[in-house]
Amino acid sequence: MIVLSTAFKTAQIAISHNGKTSVRELDANCKHSENVLKTIDTMLDEMGVEIGEINTYGVVIGPGSFTGLRIGVALVKGLCEGGRNDSKVVPLSSFDVIAYSYIKHASPMSDFIVVINALSGLVFVRSYDNKGSALSEGKLVSREELDFMSGDKICLEEDNLPFTIVAISAEDLLEYAVTQEKLDKSCDFHIVNPIYLRKSQAEDQLELKNLKKS
């Protein structure tokens, strides 16, 4: 199984096959589009594993960086397309991965809200109970709306928000992907797509331009 997240500034990559495991975290300044595939090739070489031996992939599909999500999903689809006929993908929610890491390392006693910075005064949010069950759908809200939402708020350090900091490791990412595979959450790679929860800046600008014309 190859699992990767390019949803945020730091990319996590994990490979597990026949009892062998390798993990990597790429520096936040690395260009994911240039370095993720190279890193996967290096990891496989070090493990003595051929890409053709892998038939299961996990990928974080969002929300998160527009560019990062596209890179991750496209890379996994490409690996599946050029790989085995039985290749499948386990799509992973950014919210769920963060919640999993928080519960694993902090053992919260109460409900909490995963908060992801969407920039421009907006945030992505999703609520969970302390066992990790989602209490709401993921949505985009303003910082003002977030202030009125009850529950402990958690976020990644890179988002620079005044909430409890959670760190996601490549090991956590792999563990969570494995749990989802065991729950039969995998699907045909053709139907996997990023979850943005908001329009891109280009779409917003186009919509504004069209409104001005009308």
Instruction: Supply the DSSP string of 17-29, one letter for each residue.
Output: ETTEEEEEEE-TT
Note whether 2-93+168-200 and 95-166 share their fold.
yes
Contact 36, 24 (CB under 8 A): no
pLDDT at 204: 47
CATH superfamily of this structure's domain 95-166: ATPase, nucleotide binding domain (3.30.420.40)
Domain ranges of the chain: 2-93+168-200, 95-166
pLDDT value at residue 203? 46
Q: What is the mean pLDDT of each run of 10 residues along the chain (214 residues)?
A: 94 96 84 86 96 96 93 95 93 98 97 96 97 96 96 95 96 97 96 85 48 53
Answer positive or negative: Cα dihedral of 69, 93, 96, 137.
positive
Residue 206: its pLDDT value, please? 47
- What is the helix (H) or strand (E) element at residue 207, kind and residue range? helix 201-213
Q: Look at the domain 2-93+168-200 and name its fold.
A: Nucleotidyltransferase; domain 5 (3.30.420)
N residues, the chain: 214
Q: What angle do CA 105, 167, 134 make, to 5 degrees?
A: 70
Q: Say what the pLDDT of residue 201 is.
A: 52
